[in-house]
Structure 1
Amino acid sequence: MANEAGKTGRSGWETAVSRTMPYPGSRVWEFLVGDGVEIWLGPGVELPRERGAGYETEHGTTGEIRSYSEDRVRLTWRPTDWDHDSLLELEVADLGKRSTLKIRQERLADVAEKAEQRAYWKQVVERVEAALAER
């Protein structure tokens, strides 16, 4: 039997969204890890950069940094109403005058959570692009 779309044997359900934007990668990345962190991670938190560092947003979402580089961050992500951690990755691919923002989330509980998170991350990408356009 074939795997259902978005389900892997190793990490359960996963989803991903991406968007190419008319901004250099450095501009997108600096926004994501600076003023724009609230858009994707949540209000009231600064993004830690050290592996193993924990965070908690004003809304109670918690997690831990797994890796951090100049164009990618991997962290655990757990809202207050979940009974499990997911693994979240944000990456910016620099294409010169443009860049692609990629968001991938693994270890989702089921197909419903996958659909919910895909819709959420699509909104996040739209909000990031709109905020960059205003700057």
Structure 2
Amino acid sequence: MSEEVGRTAQSGWEVGVSRTLPYSGARLWEFLLGREGVEVWLGAGVELPRERGEAYETANGITGEIRSFHEGTRVRLTWRPKDWDHDSTLQLTVVGQGRRSTLKFHQEWLADAAERAEQRAYWKDVTERVAAALAER
């Protein structure tokens, strides 16, 4: 029996990336949901909706809709770049731990191992860009 890393029976191919940052959960959440932060992780040209079922589209063609929104901790949405033929599900989570917090991206329903590897690299880069943007503030 061969087990493929990153493939589950429940959610297909998936990937998770996390990083602990030296900011409170409230500060990290405020940044991520503000215009500058949304641009870093979701894309330019969109304000993230807060209500379930609301659609969004970024300037570079990423589309989706909100699945759930829990103020201060988690947003779950569909995520589909314009060159993909399928939706994926993305969850952004902030876990506050006093003066530090952990930023987590979890993406499900990826097409295959190659797309999983691409998205792993993408979300790692996003966490680096979030950390850099916060350090400049």
- Normalising by structure 1, we get a TM-score of 0.98
Find the residue that maps to 1:39 and give its secondary structure: helix
Q: Structure 1: give runs of 5+ residues left out of the alignment.
A: none
Residue 50 of structure 2 is aligned to residue 49 of structure 1: yes
Cα deviation code 1:59-112 (max 9, x no counterpart): 111000000012100000000000000000000000000000010000000000
Q: Structure 2: give runs of 5+ residues left out of the alignment.
A: none
Q: Take 1:96 and 1:67, find their aligned partners in 2: how far apart are those partners?
A: 25
Find the residue that maps to 1:29 and give its secondary structure: helix
1:69-84 map, 5 Å: 69-70=70-71, 71-84=73-86
CA drift at 1:3: 2.7
Q: Percent identity?
A: 70
Find the residue that maps to 1:59 and give its secondary structure: coil
Cα deviation code 1:31-73 (max 9, x no counterpart): 0010210001001000000000000001111000000012100
Residue 54 of structure 2 is aligned to residue 60 of structure 1: no
Partner of 1:134: 136
Partner of 1:24: 24
Find the residue that maps to 2:120 and give its secondary structure: helix
CA drift at 1:14: 0.3
Residue 97 of structure 2 is aligned to residue 95 of structure 1: yes
Q: Which amino acid aligns with 1:65?
A: I
CA drift at 1:2: 4.2
RMSD: 0.7
Q: How many residues matched?
A: 135
Q: Which amino acid aligns with 2:50?
A: R
Q: Take 2:11 and 2:76, find their aligned partners in 1: how far apart are those partners?
A: 14
